Structure 1
Amino acid sequence: MDPEAQLDGFLAKFLPEVAALARSLLAAMTARIPGAHILVYDNYNALAIGFSPSEKAGQAVLSLAVFPRWVTLCFLHGAGLPDPHGLLKGEGSRVRHVRLEIREKLDDPRIQALIDAALDRAAPPFDPAVPARLLVKSISAKQRPRRPA
C-alpha cells in the first residue's frame, strides 16, 4: 500500500478535528524542514510522525505525536535545548514536548526558535536538496483507542 494512503488510514481513526489538525501540522512541518524523511509509527499509545535527516529513527530530531484529543510536537533531544520561556514539558532524560491545540501555535516565534535550535543540532544535518520521503516504519497490532471514550 502507498505510504500516503496508509497515513490517511491511520489519521482516519481519530476524531475529524484531531485528524485535520495533524494533517495541517504535518504539512507545515514538511514545508519547514525540507529534506526530511518522514517516519511514521502507528504505535500502541499514539500515531508518531518523525522528521529525520535519514531513514534511521535514531537520527530523528522532531516528531508529531497524535493522541485522541490533541497533537504534541516532540523534541527528541529536547532536554539540552535552551528554553528561556519554559515552554517544553517533560522530565525524561532526552525528550521534551509542547502540546499544539491549534495549528497557529506552531507559528509562535518561541516555538519556532525551539525548532531552529533542534534543527541546528541535527547530526547529520538535513539536506534541503533531498526530496521529502514518507516511510511507514511500523504498525502495532495492539493499540489504544484513537478516539476519546
Structure 2
Amino acid sequence: MSSEFPGAVPEIPVTDIAEATLAEFIAKFEPAHRALIGDVRDALRRRFPAAHELVYDNYNFFVIGYSATLRPSDAALSIAASAKGVSVCLIHGAALADPAGLLHGAGKQTRFLRVSSAADLERPEVAALLTAAATSAPVPLRDGPPGTLVIRSVSAKQRPRRRAARE
C-alpha cells in the first residue's frame, strides 16, 4: 500500500490471482484427487519449467494445458481431471509410438494416460512418451524462462467434481 494514497488497495500480482483462482478450482475435488492434481502439476512444472499453463474449468473436465506459447493450439499435453480421476493427455498422442501400450483413446489426435501417482510420470516408458509429446508439439516445449499461469475459461455449468456419495 502506498503512503501517497491513504486507503489505496495494495496491488496483487496477476500470478497470485491466477494461483488463487487455480486453488479454488482444485478445491472442488475430493482430497485424494486434489493432492494428485497438485503432485502431477508439480512434476510437469519441474519437467517443463518454460511451459505456459493454460487453465480451463470446463463442463466435463478441469484441464491444465502445457504450451510453449499462450496459444492453446500449440499445447503439447495437459492434465485432465474429473470426479473419476486424473489423466495426462498427450494432445498429438495418436502419432506417437507407444510400444508399451500405455495410451488410451481412439480419436484421430489425442491419447491419454491414467495417472494414480505423480511417480507414474517417472517410469521410463511414460517419461519417453512425455518427451516425445513435448518435442513433437506444433511448437515444441523447450528450456527457457519460466512459463506463466493463465486462466483461459471457466464454464458456469459443470459436472460435479466429486463422486456422488453412496447410500
Q: CA deviation at 1:69?
A: 3.2
Q: CA deviation at 1:6?
A: 0.4
Rounded to whole Å, the distance in 2 between the matches of 1:133 and 1:63 is 15
Deviations 1:23-64 (A, max 9, x none): 010011011012100000000011000000000000001000
Report 1 or 2 for greater relative contact order, CA contacts < 8 Å, sequence distance ≥ 6. Answer: 1
Q: Please tell me whether residue 130 in structure 1 is matched to residue 145 in structure 2.
A: yes
Work out whether residues 34 and 126 of structure 1, in 8 Å CA contact, stay in contact via their aligned partners in 2.
no
Amino acid of the structure 1 residue aligned with 2:137: A
> Partner residue of 1:12?
27
Q: CA deviation at 1:126?
A: 2.5
Amino acid of the structure 2 residue aligned with 1:36: A
Amino acid of the structure 2 residue aligned with 1:135: V
Q: What is the percentage of aligned positions where both structures have the same residue?
A: 43
List aligned pairs for 1:62-141, cutoff 5 A.
62-141=77-156
Work out whether residues 39 and 136 of structure 1, in 8 Å CA contact, stay in contact via their aligned partners in 2.
yes
After TM superposition, what 4+ stretches of structure 1 lie above 6 angstroms from structure 2? none
Amino acid of the structure 2 residue aligned with 1:41: Y
Larger Rg: 2
TM-score (ref. length: structure 2): 0.86
TM-score (ref. length: structure 1): 0.96
Rounded to whole Å, the distance in 1 between the matches of 2:67 and 2:48 is 9
Q: CA deviation at 1:120?
A: 1.6
CA RMSD after TM alignment = 1.1
How many residues matched?
149
Rounded to whole Å, the distance in 2 between the matches of 1:108 and 1:126 is 20
